[in-house]
């Protein structure tokens, strides 16, 4: 079956998977979604037989139907190789009454590597398929992790350039050091005086600017996106939920057909949306538990049916979730609105104009597989300390938000369904917050002293991603006001 893609806002007809990957965002400002959700082409019981690369091919060939077998396998094999420090690509660890799905074994020690290792290959293959001669400029906003993973993926990839905007005062020191030391003649990193939502809005505005697109085309450039708004980011994320189900079967933790709960720390809603897509493909899911930090706009949405970003933006110890405009929620809204682009478009217009919208009771009734929870800063730290003391297992702040939410959920519901917590980053990425949670005796140590202390207590080797930046020189020091983002891009590209 040939799967075509359309906009969540209903305009512009259909495009192929490769065209959707190249465009990133639909011309009407909507996000690309498959016209029809594909189903898993194998029996559930068979999933235990496949390794990560084989699972990736089984899932992705159903979504990316205009890629040949050779093209897709080439992308997969180039992505999931020795860049990952485990042959399995991701690992399942048992602790605190759940399975932790470690998605941080890639080059930049965050879950974004799972998709951003393959996106450059999908994108350059798409360009060849569509006879694109322009240089593709990846324009992206990051709350900390997407930026480095995208920079690492696209660095020195022929026919591409990448510009990353991040909130100058809204990421961890190690996250920032990872980005500003990035090598590659085609890489540009810019800190903005503003928060992640400002960065994301600025990027979206540039994507929708027809005059800018024309000026770029005249110079031989065109934009594409590495954010999770790009379907080429989302589809590879579906893979690890399918793979995890197979691994649980293999361990004997479940029997084929039994449901699994997934608990996902999320800000932009892409990671948990991928779990929803896995469910729609046929993976038995009990609950999708959406874990928020103090920026709990998603928790409030699942509780009330109202999405309202009109609130204080809070900087937390889990900065990749410090987001009030969850872009990928639009894809879920489209799904529960009966795939009605006009309805979705109206909600997005309300969000842009008033900062809020309320879904109908009928739409809310279709969210029964979702539930939300949130962790404040104190509980996040307590969860890190508790799991370390009880299990000797060290988790990062984002994973702790999910683990804290899951502990509350289990206490409130008594639900003992086998549950998987998406562990989205290595604790080494947020060393200071993690070590301070375990004990305040670490407070005065330098960042890289803390790295060595974490190694000592966790018995986990310091990842290459951290060793590399200890003494790496700063290569990117641009900073601009949030209102000057387009001017900065024009300057970089010489427009």
- What residues contact residue 366 under an 8 Å CB cut-off, 6+ apart? 335, 336
Is the separation of the CB atoms in 104 and 424 below 8 Å?
yes
Q: What are φ and ψ of residue 471, in 5° steps?
A: -120, 10
Tell which residue, 150, 114, 115, 120, has the closest CA to residue 136: 120
- H helix or E strand, kind and range, residue 160: strand 160-167
Rounded to an integer, what is the distance from CA 370 to the centroid of its chain?
18
What is the C-alpha to C-alpha distance for residues 282 and 44, in angstroms, rounded to an integer? Answer: 8
* Alpha-helical runs (H) found in 337-468: 341-354, 361-365, 377-391, 397-413, 431-438, 447-458, 464-467
Q: How far apart are CA 334 and CA 251, in angstroms?
A: 36
Is the distance from CB of 417 to CB of 261 less than 8 angstroms? Answer: yes
DSSP code of 319?
A: G
Establish whether 133 is a catalytic residue.
Answer: no
CB 193 within 8 A of CB 481: yes
Q: Supply 44's token pair.
A: 């559930």
H or E element at residue 300: helix 297-304
Q: Which residues contact 88 (CB under 8 A, 6 or more apart)?
A: 51, 52
CB 18 within 8 A of CB 129: yes
Contact call for residues 27 and 74 (beta carbons, < 8 A): no
Q: Which residues of 381-391 are buried (b: 16+ CB within 10 A; e: fewer)?
A: bbbbebbbeee
- Out of 23, 112, 296, 379, pick the active-site residue: 112
Distances (CA, A) of 156 to 66, 159, 161, 170, 267: 26, 9, 8, 27, 30
Catalytic residue set: 112
């Amino acid at each position: 079956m040939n799967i075509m893609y359309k906009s969540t806002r209903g305009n512009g007809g259909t495009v192929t998977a490769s065209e959707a990957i190249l465009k990133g965002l639909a011309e009407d400002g909507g996000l690309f979604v498959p016209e029809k959700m594909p189903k898993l082409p194998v029996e559930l019981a068979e999933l235990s037989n496949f390794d990560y690369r084989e699972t990736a091919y089984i899932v992705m060939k159903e979504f990316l139907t205009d890629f040949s077998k050779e093209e897709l396998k080439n992308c997969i094999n180039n992505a999931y190789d020795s860049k990952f420090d485990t042959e399995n690509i991701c690992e399942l660890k048992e602790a605190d009454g759940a399975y932790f799905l470690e998605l941080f074994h890639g080059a930049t020690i965050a879950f974004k590597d799972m998709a951003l290792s393959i996106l450059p290959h999908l994108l350059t293959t798409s360009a060849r398929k569509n006879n694109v001669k322009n240089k593709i400029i990846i324009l992206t906003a990051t709350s900390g992790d997407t930026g480095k993973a995208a920079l690492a993926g696209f660095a020195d990839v022929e026919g591409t350039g990448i510009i990353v905007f991040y909130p100058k005062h809204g990421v961890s020191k190690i996250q920032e050091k990872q980005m500003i030391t990035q090598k590659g003649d085609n890489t540009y990193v810019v800190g903005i005086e503003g928060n992640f939502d400002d960065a994301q809005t600025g990027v979206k505005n540039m994507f929708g600017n027809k005059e800018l697109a024309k000026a770029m085309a005249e110079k031989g450039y065109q934009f594409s996106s590495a954010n999770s708004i790009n379907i080429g980011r989302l589809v590879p994320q579906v893979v690890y939920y399918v793979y995890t189900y197979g691994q649980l079967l293999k361990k004997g933790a479940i029997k084929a057909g039994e449901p699994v709960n997934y608990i996902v720390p999320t800000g932009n809603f892409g990671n948990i949306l991928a779990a929803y897509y896995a469910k729609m493909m046929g993976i038995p899911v009990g609950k999708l538990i959406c874990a928020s930090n103090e920026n709990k706009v998603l928790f409030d949405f699942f509780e009330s049916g109202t999405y309202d970003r009109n609130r204080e933006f809070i900087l937390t110890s889990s900065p990749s979730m410090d987001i009030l405009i969850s872009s990928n929620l639009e894809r879920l809204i489209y799904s529960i609105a009966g795939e009605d682009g006009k309805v979705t478009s109206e909600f997005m217009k309300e969000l842009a104009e008033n900062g809020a919208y309320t879904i109908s009771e009928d739409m809310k009734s279709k969210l029964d597989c979702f539930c939300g929870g949130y962790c404040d800063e104190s509980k996040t730290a307590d969860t890190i300390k508790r799991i370390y003391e009880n299990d000797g297992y060290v988790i990062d702040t984002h994973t702790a938000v999910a683990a804290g939410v899951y502990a509350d959920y289990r206490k409130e519901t008594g639900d003992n369904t086998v549950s998987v917590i998406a562990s989205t980053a290595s604790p080494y990425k947020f060393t200071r917050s993690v070590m301070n949670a375990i004990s305040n005796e670490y407070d005065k140590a330098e960042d890289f002293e803390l790295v060595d202390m974490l190694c000592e207590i966790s018995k986990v080797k310091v990842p290459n991603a951290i060793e590399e930046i200890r003494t790496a020189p700063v290569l990117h020091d641009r900073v601009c006001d949030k209102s000057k983002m387009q001017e900065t891009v024009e300057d970089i590209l010489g427009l």
